[in-house]
Amino acid sequence: GDLDKVVNLLLSLSGRLARVETALGSLGPHTPAEDKLALQEKQRLLMAQLEDAKELKEHVGRREEAVGAMVARYLPAEHLQDYQHFVKMKSALIAEQRELEEKIKLGQEQLRCLRESL
């Protein structure tokens, strides 16, 4: 459960940071200084939060290793391999699920805009 939460947090923060950086990159020369400063402050905060989330991920990784060592004492070799594969794939599957959810959301938004324009 903690792995799910941390991976989702990392994905959320990196997505928000990417949007802020895109917004900063698209600012024109006539953009008010307050707007630029607000975006830069948001970027700074998101970068700090992302670093904190990476530390959480490392902590979860260390806990995962400790749990894996305990599990290894009780599971036969073939079940242990299944467990290790599951743990390795879980993060990848969470990221893939999040990506698919974003694509669905984008597709729904495009469909809504298309309907409104018709």
Indicate the angle between helix axes 2-25 and 77-117, nearest 10 degrees: 40
What are the residue ranges spanned by the domains of the chain? 1-74, 77-117
Whole-model pTM over 0.85? no
Query: What does the alpha-carbon distance between residue 68 and residue 25 come to, in Å, rounded to a whole number?
Result: 44
Q: What is the pLDDT of residues 92-117, one digit of tens each?
A: 888 888 889 888 988 998 899 889 98
Per residue in 15-64, pLDDT tens?
899 999 999 888 888 888 899 999 999 999 999 999 999 999 899 889 88
Paired tokens of 98: 């999040």
Q: Are 27 and 12 in contact (CB under 8 A)?
A: no
